[in-house]
């Protein structure tokens, strides 16, 4: 079972039209693209799942600006755990990381670490942009797997793209289609900025764009249904609420706090 925070972020990333974002926000060669987030930013979400009013807590953090492998990158981290009651019933922890190039706003590499019950799993994906390839490596219970597959030039990963999305301006009536590589698979995501709404979250009531999202796999089968993401209209362009339906139930993430990483 995929983690709620990762699934939600993958669904949200679908709305990131990389070509438009790059044209709008990237500066001259070698200059960082303009972004509305800063190093040290930490977003805290309450996670609701099915009948559990608060099923867990999730975090999205801009941990550092580092050399991601020959070029500067933002080190992005998303992780989450269920509340203690659910943790006792089903021990689980997920952590997703991405290195987002500060100039092109395209991910250099990404990883997903998971613990479920007594099992541990680590998946890494590296993007070879000149060759338009993704190199996926998986270590699942000591069983290694390596797979290389073709990807489009502007492919994103689930975590990086949600930050890229914050660098663009929405318009009602836009329709965006974007390839997203996630856990060794390529998805097609379509997003429709629908309307401006007043959204109440623990952080307060904020004006936000409602963006309807659909995600399908390579066979055209829906991966997430009834997905919606709300992005604030202020200068920070925060993803303040995410929701959708999965085979395991309905999830909602709401922003509780904007703070600094410890």
Alpha carbon distance 226, 109 (integer Å) = 29
Give the model's pLDDT for residue 87: 53
Instruction: Spell 123-153 as b/e; 16+ CB within 10 A means b.
Output: bbbbbeeeeeebebbbeeeeeeeeeeeebee
Q: Which long-range contacts (CB under 8 A, 24 or more apart) does 135-141 make?
A: 136/183, 136/184, 138/184
Give the model's pLDDT for residue 139: 84
Closest CA to 203 of 242, 167, 256, 159: 256
Closest CA to 122 of 103, 141, 150: 141
Quote the longest CA-to-CA distance of the chain: 52
Locate the DSSP E strands across 85-237. Answer: 92-101, 107-116, 119-128, 133-140, 143-150, 156-157, 176-182, 185-201, 204-216, 222-232
Q: How far is CA 224 from CA 1, 154, 260, in A?
A: 13, 22, 31
Under a CB-based contact definition with an 8 Å cutoff, are residues 11 and 244 in contact? yes
Give the model's pLDDT for residue 131: 96
3-class DSSP assignment, residue 50: coil
Q: How many domains does the chain have?
A: 1
Q: What is the pLDDT along the chain (262 residues), one digit of tens a residue?
A: 344 444 444 444 333 333 333 333 444 457 899 999 999 999 999 888 765 555 688 899 999 999 866 789 999 999 887 655 455 555 677 899 999 999 999 999 999 988 877 678 899 999 999 999 999 999 876 677 899 999 999 899 988 878 887 887 888 888 777 788 988 889 887 878 899 999 999 989 999 999 888 888 888 888 877 789 899 999 999 999 988 876 656 788 899 999 998 8
Under a CB-based contact definition with an 8 Å cutoff, are residues 257 and 203 in contact? yes
| Domain assignment of residue 14, given as a range | 4-260
């Amino acid at each position: 079972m995929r983690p709620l925070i990762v699934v939600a972020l993958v669904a949200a990333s679908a709305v990131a039209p990389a070509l438009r974002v790059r044209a709008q926000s990237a500066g001259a060669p070698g200059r960082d693209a303009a972004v509305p987030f800063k190093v040290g930013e930490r977003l805290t979400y309450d996670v609701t799942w099915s009948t559990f009013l608060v099923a867990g807590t999730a975090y999205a953090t801009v941990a550092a600006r580092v050399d991601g492998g020959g070029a500067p990158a933002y080190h992005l981290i998303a992780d989450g755990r269920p509340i203690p009651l659910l943790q006792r019933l089903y021990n689980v922890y997920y952590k997703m990381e991405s290195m987002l190039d500060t100039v092109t706003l395209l991910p250099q590499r990404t990883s997903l670490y998971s613990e479920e019950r007594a099992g541990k799993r680590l998946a890494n994906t590296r993007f070879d942009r000149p060759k338009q390839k993704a190199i996926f490596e998986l270590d699942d219970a000591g069983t290694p797997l390596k797979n290389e597959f073709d990807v489009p030039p502007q492919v994103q990963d689930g975590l990086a793209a949600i930050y890229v999305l914050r660098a663009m301006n929405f318009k009602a009536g836009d329709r965006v289609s974007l390839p997203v590589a996630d856990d060794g698979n390529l998805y097609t995501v379509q997003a429709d900025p629908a309307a401006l709404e007043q959204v109440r979250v623990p952080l307060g009531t904020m004006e936000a764009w409602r963006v309807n999202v659909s995600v399908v796999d390579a066979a055209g089968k829906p991966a997430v249904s009834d997905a919606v993401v709300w992005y604030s209209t202020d200068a920070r362009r925060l993803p303040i609420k995410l929701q959708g339906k999965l085979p395991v139930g309905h999830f909602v993430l709401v922003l509780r706090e904007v703070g600094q990483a410890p």
